[in-house]
Amino acid sequence: MEDGAVEQQGQLNFDFKAFFFRLLSYWKWFLLILIIGVYIVYQQNIRKEFPYTLSASISVQDDKNPLFTSNTNLIFNYGGISGKVQDVVLNLNSRKHHELVVDSLQFYLNYFRQDRFYKTDIYKQAPFEFVGDANAFQVLGHFIQINFISEEQFELSYDLGEATAVTVQNFETKAIKTLPVETSVFKEVFSFYDAINLPFFKGRFVPRPDVSPAAGQEFFIQYTSFNAAVSQYANSSAVLNEPNSPLLTLRLTHKNKAKIVDYLNTSVFILDRELLQRKNQYAINTVAFIDKQLARVKEQLSRRSDSLNDFKQSKKIFDINRESNTLVSKIEAYENQKQALEESILSYDLLKNYLETSNDFTNFPAPALQGISDGTISGAVSKIVTLSIEKSKLSYSVRNDVAVFDDLNRQIEGLKKVIYESISSNKNNIRFQIRTINSNIYKLEREFSVLPENKLQLQGIEREYLLSQNTYNLYLAKRGEADLIKASNISDIIFIEPAKDIGQGRNVVNLNIRYVFAVFGAFIPVFLMAFLVTFFDTKFHGPNDLEKHSTVPLLAVVGKSQSASNLAVIDKPKSAIAEAFRSVRSSLQFIYKKQGVTNSKTVMLTSSVSGEGKTFCSINIASVFALSGKKTVLVGLDLRKPKIFDDFGINNKVGAVNYLIGQATLAEITQSTHVEHLDVITSGPIPPNPSELLIGDYMDAFMSELKATYDYIVLDTPPIGLVSDALELIPYVDATLYVVRQDYTKKDMLKVINSKYKKGEIKNISFLYNYFNQKGTYGYGYGYGYGAYGNGYHEDAQKASGFLNSLKTFFKRLKP
């Protein structure tokens, strides 16, 4: 249970200490990324071009025409000043309005000058203006370079790179298409007013009167798509309005102040023009309608005038007798009543004409309402105005909800039908009255039967003439009213404060905060890298790791060897490595003494996989035993992959395999070395059945003969994690050393040995931690070795230095 708990804990717990020291070990990466990040931020900061923000102020007023009277007023404002303000805000924020402004100023064409880090928009500061061909397609997005040779001549050039096609646009029709590129590089000399006729760039350059170019000056022009230019200015502009206030503030942010001034002032000018034109629209429609009626009545009046003159001349009648004066007065009274009724019909016709020809009823013009007393019509007109105002407001806030607008349109159409029906009903009633009057007139005319027939005919012709003349005069009066209103109308927009350049500064932002982000930007990847490496790390990086993953005791720690060969103890007997192996020897002596072993002593070295330093440790443990004056033999029982013979300069022709198959004696396979008291028995030729040889009958005799001959027997065996050969040798040994190499052995590799140790199948086993490198342990100092006290006693001792080592020393002193 204890072993399982240790293993499970080691697998699940995150090692924060290892993570912290690994993070410290990445300080060079952090510094490198920080330097790169600070450099990038610095380059971005010095290349940052801050924009300007300017504003203009207007006021929306309910300006009534002073010439309006109860008879001439053509405007009924049901929305009030608040409705007008909202209408103006909607207009200013609409894309249509920005399209008119951009198109008016041609802000899709930009002029640049190359500064140190970026191209600066110079607008009207350029000494020239490019007048593009209205019917031509101009290239989009590419810079056209202009280098002046003299005040009149310049070199025009462009370089399209590897582009095989370019996008072009006609700014008259706004059509966009793609043209193939035949020549990507162009350069030619032109003069002012010369016609430039390139495949996708047509027009002429004209000089500005107030700016003169100098030889050597370089400029650029660039067309952007119309939609992109409109979106740029629409997104950079804002309309501010306090609640219940007629004051509006227009703001625009851009990198060129002159462009901001022109854009804001032009925006107000276009708004004023559009609102005034809409205000005059009904008067214009009324004049056009009356002109048609005047032409018809004038023609009728002319015919009746000719008829009257012809009758008088032919009948020689130039006056009417007094007898008919009374009858004529009565008839004229009826005619006046009839005329008034016909004027009412005209008013209804004007109202119906407006309803049929107009689309917007926010400001409802109704000149004929003065002659309309029907409450149903007036109420329906009021409801139409209310619905139209609601529709205008929703068009700004609810753009895509078509159902809402369809419902409002259906309501407006329903009200219009009600008005049409009321108009039709009233007109029928008026016509009935006219027919009654005509009947009365007819009765009076019959009274003229006593008069001479010629006089009766003359009276009828004069009466028709007078009727046509009165109708003509009525239309002339109405037309005069409409012309007067149109001429005297003024806009509801008052330009309070135009946009102007009064030395406003740029919108400077403190960019030093970017350096803070650069620090975080350098720390985060290093932090994540350290976290991920620690989280997914499966290897041992310090002796303490062994305690977390196994209950097998740790015998000793061996440092990283700097020797060129495996004979570290022989080559450098005063080194820290040599002292570490002497420590191993002392620990083994304690194990032997504890077990009561007094005669020949054996130790077996194995590991998880190849490459963990098992052979290196076997050679040096055998060497320290031999250096102590004890007769020692190093036996290579790794029959599958022999190694130990190269370092001693001996061959592997005859070895343990020959003894185990009965081909040689112990004396024949034993080879002496240059180390006193140390013999080596190599593994010999690789057999086809190594496992069977190690459990054969000769193995018992082999080990018995070795114990009778030598004081210490060191067995170099195969890795347990790969083959089971070493497990067969455990009964022959007094102690087993399991080699674990730092930064190489994986934690999962200990499962096999932990399981067998837990079950009691393996006893007297200890870990030998190899290749210990304190710089790679991230603060895991285990206490083995002499540290600073060993300076001067070891050949490879070095004085600790550096910031990281100082931190390690500090944390080591904090340990209890």
Q: Based on the fold, state whether residues 430 and 288 are members of the same structural domain.
A: yes
Strand partners, 112: 121, 220
Residue the block writes with tokens 């020689």: 316
pLDDT band for position 448 (cuts 50, 70, 90)? low
Tell me: pLDDT of 2 over 50: no
Higher pLDDT, 806 or 223: 223
Q: Is residue 87 in a domain?
A: no
pLDDT digits (tens, 9 = 90+) for 297-347: 777 767 767 776 776 666 555 554 555 567 777 878 888 888 888 778 887
Higher pLDDT, 814 or 185: 185
Q: Based on the fold, state whether residues 664 and 808 are members of the same structural domain.
A: yes
DSSP tally for the chain: helices H, then strands E: 24, 26
CB atoms inside a 10 Å sphere around CB 163: 13
Q: Is residue 181 in a domain?
A: yes
Q: Based on the fold, state whether residues 310 and 459 are members of the same structural domain.
A: yes
Higher pLDDT, 177 or 348: 177
Q: For residues 420 and 376, give the distance between their C-alpha atoms in angstroms, rounded to a whole number.
A: 11
pLDDT band for position 390 (cuts 50, 70, 90)? confident
pLDDT value for 601? 93
Q: Report the percent of the chain where pLDDT is more than 90.
A: 30
Residue the block writes with tokens 């982000």: 517
How does the average pLDDT of the chain come out, rounded?
Answer: 80
Tell me: pLDDT of 70 over 50: no
Closest CA to 60 of 473, 693, 490: 490
pLDDT value for 321? 54
Q: For residues 1 and 7, give the distance between their C-alpha atoms in angstroms, rounded to a whole number.
A: 10
pLDDT value for 85? 85
Q: Is residue 254 in a domain?
A: no
* CATH code, 753: 3.40.50.300
Q: For residues 731 and 722, give the distance between their C-alpha atoms in angstroms, rounded to a whole number.
A: 20
pLDDT band for position 364 (cuts 50, 70, 90)? low
Q: For residues 219 and 242, give the distance between their C-alpha atoms in angstroms, rounded to a whole number.
A: 44
Number of domains in the chain: 4
Domain residues for 157?
Answer: 109-224
Q: Is residue 236 in a domain?
A: no
Q: Based on the fold, state whether residues 628 and 483 are members of the same structural domain.
A: no
pLDDT mean over 764-786: 64
Q: Based on the fold, state whether residues 519 and 596 are members of the same structural domain.
A: no
pLDDT mean over 688-710: 88
Q: For residues 551 and 9, give the distance between their C-alpha atoms in angstroms, rounded to a whole number.
A: 12
Select the highest-mean-pLDDT range: 182-186, 480-484, 644-648: 182-186
Q: Based on the fold, state whether residues 470 and 544 are members of the same structural domain.
A: no
pLDDT value for 94? 92
Q: Based on the fold, state whether residues 518 and 590 are members of the same structural domain.
A: no
Higher pLDDT, 305 or 173: 173
Out of 80-89, 111-120, 302-311, 782-791, which region has the weakest mean confidence (pLDDT)?
782-791
pLDDT band for position 98 (cuts 50, 70, 90)? very high
Q: Is residue 238 in a domain?
A: no
Q: Based on the fold, state whether residues 520 and 543 are members of the same structural domain.
A: no
Q: Is residue 175 in a domain?
A: yes
* Residue where a domain terminates, one of 224, 249, 266: 224
Q: Based on the fold, state whether residues 649 and 787 are members of the same structural domain.
A: yes
* Residue where a domain terminates, one of 206, 224, 242: 224
Q: Based on the fold, state whether residues 474 and 530 are members of the same structural domain.
A: no
Q: Based on the fold, state whether residues 114 and 138 are members of the same structural domain.
A: yes
Q: Is residue 362 in a domain?
A: yes
Closest CA to 103 of 170, 171, 204: 171
pLDDT digits (tens, 9 = 90+) for 712-731: 999 998 888 777 777 888 88
Sign of the CA dihedral with 340 first, then 341, 345, and 351 last? positive
Q: Report the percent of the chain where pLDDT is more than 70.
A: 80
Select the highest-mean-pLDDT range: 409-413, 630-634, 699-703: 630-634
Q: Based on the fold, state whether residues 485 and 589 are members of the same structural domain.
A: no
Q: Is residue 309 in a domain?
A: yes
